[in-house]
A and B are shown apart, each in its own frame.
With several copies, the nearest count.
Chain A
Amino acid sequence: MTGAESGRAEPGTLERAVEATLFAADEPMTVEALSSHLGGIEPGEVRGALTALQLQYAARGIHLVERGKRWHFETAPDLAHLLRREKEQVRRLSRAATEVLAIIAYHEPVSRAEIESIRGVQTSAGTLDVLMEAGWIKLAGRREVPGRPVIYATTPEFLDHFGLESRRDLPGIDELRAAGLLDPVDEALETAMRFDPDEPENQEEDTHEDEEGA
């Protein structure tokens, strides 16, 4: 833990090995992948080395980050303006694709019918294809209801691309959940009809949901 306590410490042998491996890797690596690549080092030790490294790099122009349980180095976000000019190759998403992606991310797993009921329009097949091709969403099985519709969920690449450690980091997800805005309309309607809006009772309910979401 000495490394983790001080960002200035000389990196230890394992830290150096983890650092070099992640630096050379073509893609992000899980703790398990690192552990096996390094010849079976205890995952706990690898995790310790990652934490220490993360701290050592915190003030640098390169950061060590975890995205969806996978670790990689990337440039510090505050330097974006320096690097952006040569490297503008981010996929431009249509508004429809952007919305569909957000709906899947905040509601996953979710069927196409559920996406459409939120958006109020049909989703063209191309929209989901674009998101699949980008590697941001994937088929996540079928919902066990009549018709067994296909359901969609996000991928680790999605978290990676948007700089999210996990889905819990989705902007505002806790507040949305607390406000019941991730619940289907029918459910929300029932909840709303049950309470007399002007009564203090309603306030209580809100408080309660906040706690749950936090």
Chain B
Amino acid sequence: MSAGLQGADQPFMFPPPDPAKPDTSALYLELDGWEGPLDLLLDLARRQKVDLRQISILALVDQYLTYIERAGEMRLELAADYLVMAAWLAYLKSALLLPKEEQEDPSPEELALRLQLRLQRLGAMREAAARLMGRDRTGRDVFLRGAPEGLRTDRKTVWRSDMFALIQAYGQVKARTAPRIYHVANRPVMTLDSALERVSAMLGVTLEWMEIRDFLPPHASPELKRSALASSFVAALELARRGRAELDQESAFAPLRIRRLKEGAAS
């Protein structure tokens, strides 16, 4: 019945597994070889029939329970999950044998089918694994070159720059490091020395009274004229002190006049 649930008449697509071994006590020796109850069930199913789609779940349950029972007789210690599976299979068996109308949900048929599907899937993967391992494998059946020269890629940096960057860099070096010469711009002033020189020179021209303004440079800027006036005034005072000139002013803020003294006349 369970076998019929999934297209029993479809051809099986795998090469047959190992020739079915007889269900004998040889099982005991393989105890360590099982990877859990599903693994054991799969092996039992394989012994039963070639096609996992046609196995009898009832027969499988019986075989499993027999195996567990024998293991118990031999006082082999079974892992808990084998016992859990045994209990579950015992329940499944009784449910499958009950009249249909007393069944619960999910039905025992569905549980049986689920088990069968799981076994099919595990079986399929086990076969796939065997076929995979049987392929021509590198290092076992096919070999790569024993002593390849190897490819080497040397990284090489190609530097790039351009003319503008070059001269700009040089300009900036120059600008950054040029010796700094600080020079004060020529300010519009007449120094006392030059005023002295100038006033002395002008005094030498005549013995007449001259206005001090006449000593100023004729085309000078207003700033320079102011400076020249002040310097010339101080120069006139200096010359008077040295006894080389005399000063005259009629009233406050009147034009200041200056006249050369004759040599020796001052005493």
Q: Tell me the A residues contacting B by CB distance below 8 Å.
A: 20-21, 23-27, 37, 63, 72-77, 80, 82-93, 95-96, 98-99, 101-103, 105-106, 118-121, 130, 133-134, 136, 160-164, 170-173, 175-176, 179, 181-185, 188-189, 192-193, 197-198, 202-203, 205-206
Contacts and interface: CB of A to CB of B under 8 A. Distances in A.
A23 B6 contact: no
Interface in B146-192: 146-163, 165-178
B10 A206 contact: yes
21 contacts: A24-B145, A26-B148, A73-B145, A75-B149, A76-B142, A80-B142, A84-B141, A93-B133, A99-B169, A102-B129, A118-B125, A118-B173, A119-B173, A121-B35, A160-B138, A162-B137, A162-B138, A172-B131, A176-B170, A181-B170, A185-B117
A83 B151 contact: yes
A162 B145 contact: no
A171 B37 CA distance: 27
Contacts of B137: 90, 161-163
B149 A87 contact: no
Contacts, number: 278
Contact of B143 (A83, A118, A192): A83
A192 B117 contact: yes
A23 B124 contact: no
Interface of B: 4-8, 10, 13-14, 35-39, 110, 113-114, 117-118, 120-122, 124-133, 135-163, 165-178
Contacts of A197: 4-8
A99 B173 contact: yes
A98 B165 contact: yes
Contacts of B138: 74, 160-163
A204 B157 CA distance: 42
